[in-house]
Amino acid sequence: MTILIDPLAAGVPPRIPAAMPVLELCGVTKHYGTVQALRGVDLAVRRGEVVAILGPNGAGKTTAISILLGLREPTAGTVRVLGGAPGDAAVRARVGAMLQESGVPGTLTVAELVDLFRGYYPAPRPRAPLLAAAGLEDLADRRVRSLSGGQHQRLYVALALAGDPEIVFLDEPTTGMDVESRRRFWDVIGALAANGTTVLFATHLLEEADALATRIVVIDHGRIVRDGTPAEIKACAGGSTIRLRADVEPDLLASWPGVLRVGRSGARLEIVAREPQEVLRRLFADGIHVEEISVEEHALETAFLDLTSQES
Amino acid sequence: MTATSLALPVRRPGSRSLGILARQLRAELRINVRAPEFVVPVMALPILLYFIFGAPRAAEPMPAGTVGAFTMVGFSIYGVLNIVLFAIGEAIADERGRGYLRLVRTTPLPAWAYLATKLALAAVLSLLVVALIGVAGTVTGAGVSPERWLAVTVVLLAGGLAIAPLGFLIGFLARPHGASAIALLILFPLSLASGVFMPVDQLPGIVRDISMLTPTYHLAELARLAAGFDASGLPAAGDGWQHVVVIGAWSLSGFALVALSYRRMVARQFA
């Protein structure tokens, strides 16, 4: 019987030159019946990058990660991970994953479950540093079913890191965590990144992407709509919301240059614009009567909504 | 570069596979034995049933053997069937439903190792239940010789392997929340067909005819043959080859269906 865990047996080179991407999606589409989850995604990630896949629910984040992990086959396009096919045992030996729902056996202790997973990999991380990295050192002898939600998530981190992976995939890792757990979790990811591990995580929180990632890939309706550093993503999504009462047709305002969106908020109009002073200047210059003006710079989350709503 | 690559240790596949299996099996045993919701209905119930129905009249003689020996065989078959349906079937469906199977699939653990461990687990648990019923029978004076009970044990372990497809099919095809209900719906008629609750020839005609087509009926006959009597408690006659053939045919078609349903499950969940 052939054991594919040995990298040599599957012909996967042990190391990939730094310039080459460690993972690559080329023209990847994925249909579930009539639902198009991904519509032509191209993505290349180099070693050591910390990439956030940012998008609203249903954007295709989980599908993209599933394809990169070899859990799902793309309908079209090609996927390479560490120079091989993502489902190969030789590739799986060198990546780690934290998925959204993984009901691990509750009757094992943390140490037993972690050891079980360590046993799956050819060169696992030693148990003590692994538990410490995930913040589980005091919980080693606890039964898994007695852990809190945040502790469960940290256990999943430990399982993802058990094989000392070169790439870690995390699908919405901080869902359901309280603020304290989330901050602790971010520290764990920060330490991984500092260590040179390539990290790719899905999130719908721009704040989280901004805090952790060196690169943010915004995905919506199965397409990549932006790809850049956190600073670039925030810059291109900049702008403000002007709220005012005015005797003017919203459609007219919407046609002005620099106006992204016009809506209503009670008796007031809501104008989303890149440069609010330009809009106000023109309102005054055109002699339109305005009152109750307020201008609000966009918070990160609104910026993120701007980015994705342009596609829909 | 090439030199370092070649210097990587290449382990002997055989020893490595056994190591994986041993570790998986140890974890599986812990997972199951620590869960009262599994131990009580699946492991303890057959022994309890023996104490209720067999033990009080254990030494009472039948045309061949004793009432105790007859019920020991019956509840052992019930125990093995129970383990196949729950420790394999319900457990796989549950791990599928909880997303655990997905997580395990991201690791290098080969699929065959996961499945083989379930089979090994069922064998170890079956051995435990049959051995405990053997002890219970000895203590209560059922008068089965160790050699005969060893023969029954061997038949039941091999038979458990042969009917394992029932478990895998539930595991791959059942909806996770429906798996235990389906397992129970299979457990009851197949137990009836094996003569666990009453001798098969006392069942109504059509039920009896159908029973005699089931693999568990033939497995039960084979186990009783090993114990020295037949379904009516008369001295055993014949060498049991017809039972082996029927069980083998069921088993082969069962494993073929398992292979198909495995592909279907993978395609539905992972494609």
Distance from CA of A297 to the nearest CA of B (A): 42
| pLDDT recorded at residue B238 | 76
For residue B99, give the nearest of A7, A95, A102 by CB distance.
A102
| Residue A300: pLDDT band with limits 50, 70, 90 | low
Two structure tokens written together for A300:
């990160």
| pLDDT recorded at residue B260 | 94
Q: Which residues of B touch A107 (CB under 8 A)?
A: 30-32, 34-35
Q: Is A48 left (phi over 0), alpha (psi -120 to 50) or beta?
A: left
Distance from CA of A229 to the nearest CA of B (A): 29
Q: Which residues of B touch A93 (CB under 8 A)?
A: 108
Distance from CA of A93 to the nearest CA of B (A): 5
Q: Which residues of B touch A103 (CB under 8 A)?
A: 95, 97-100
Count A/B contacts: CB-CB distance under 8 Å: 101
Tally Cβ neighbours within 10 Å of residue A84.
20
Note the pLDDT tens digit of each residue in B85-139. Answer: 999 999 999 999 999 999 999 999 999 999 999 999 999 999 999 999 999 999 9
B134-167: string of b/e by CB count within 10 Å (b at 16+)?
bebbbebebebeeebbebbbebbbebbbbbbbbb
Distance from CA of A100 to the nearest CA of B (A): 9
A215-220 and A76-81 beta bridge pairing: unpaired
For residue B108, give the nearest of A71, A93, A107 by CB distance.
A93
Two structure tokens written together for A104:
């691990």
| Interface with chain B: mutation pick from A102, A114, A153, A166, highest number of B CBs within 10 Å | A102
Distance from CA of A286 to the nearest CA of B (A): 59
| Interface with chain A: mutation pick from B106, B109, B112, highest number of A CBs within 10 Å | B106
Terminal CA-to-CA distance of chain B, rounded, Å? 37
Q: Do B17 and A1 touch (CB under 8 A)?
A: yes
Distance from CA of B186 to the nearest CA of A (A): 26
Residues 198-227 of chain B whose Cβ lies under 8 A from any Cβ of chain A: none
Q: Which residue of B has its CA nearest to A101?
A: B99
State which amino acid sits at residue A70.
G
Contacts of A70 (CB under 8 A, 6+ apart): A79, A81, A85, A86, A87, A88, A91, A92, B105, B106
Q: Which residues of A touch B14 (CB under 8 A)?
A: 1
Of A70, A76, A78, A69, give the one whose Cα is nearest residue A30: A76
| pLDDT recorded at residue A237 | 63
| Interface with chain A: mutation pick from B11, B25, B95, B107, highest number of A CBs within 10 Å | B107
Q: Spell out the domain ranges in chain B.
A: 16-270
Two structure tokens written together for A91:
């590739």
| Interface with chain B: mutation pick from A104, A118, A167, highest number of B CBs within 10 Å | A104
| Interface with chain A: mutation pick from B17, B23, B103, highest number of A CBs within 10 Å | B103
Note the pLDDT tens digit of each residue in A266-292. Answer: 778 888 887 788 888 888 888 888 888
Contacts of A34 (CB under 8 A, 6+ apart): none
Q: Is B12 on the interface with A (CB under 8 A)?
A: no
Q: Is the pLDDT score of B37 beyond 90?
A: no
Q: Do B110 and A3 touch (CB under 8 A)?
A: yes
Q: Which residues of B touch A156 (CB under 8 A)?
A: 103
The DSSP H or E segment spanning B246 is helix B241-270
Of A258, A260, A255, A251, give the one whose Cα is nearest residue A306: A260
Angstrom CA distances, A259 to A186, A218, A250, A272, A308, stand at 36, 22, 11, 6, 16
Tally Cβ neighbours within 10 Å of residue B74.
27
Note the pLDDT tens digit of each residue in A149-191. Answer: 888 888 999 999 999 999 999 999 888 777 887 888 888 888 8
For residue A107, give the nearest of B10, B30, B107 by CB distance.
B30
Q: Which residues of B touch A5 (CB under 8 A)?
A: 16, 108
| Residue B218: pLDDT band with limits 50, 70, 90 | very high
ipTM of predicted complex:
0.86
Q: Among B5-14, B200-209, B247-256, where is mean pLDDT lowest?
A: B5-14
Share of chain B above pLDDT 90, in %: 66
CB B121 within 8 A of CB B87: yes
| Interface with chain B: mutation pick from A72, A91, A116, highest number of B CBs within 10 Å | A116
Q: Do B20 and A97 touch (CB under 8 A)?
A: no
Distance CA(A28)–CA(B48), nearest Å, equals 58
Contacts of B122 (CB under 8 A, 6+ apart): B83, B84, B87, B88, B160, B164, B167
Q: Do B10 and A8 touch (CB under 8 A)?
A: yes
CB A65 within 8 A of CB A53: yes
For residue A92, give the nearest of B5, B95, B108 by CB distance.
B108
For residue B31, give the nearest of A5, A108, A117 by CB distance.
A108
Q: Is B110 on the interface with A (CB under 8 A)?
A: yes
Which has the higher per-residue pLDDT, A288 or B238? A288
Q: Is B17 on the interface with A (CB under 8 A)?
A: yes
| Residue A10: pLDDT band with limits 50, 70, 90 | very low
Distance from CA of B153 to the nearest CA of A (A): 29
Q: Is the pLDDT score of A76 beyond 50?
A: yes
| pLDDT recorded at residue A246 | 83
| pLDDT recorded at residue B10 | 46
Q: Is B117 on the interface with A (CB under 8 A)?
A: no
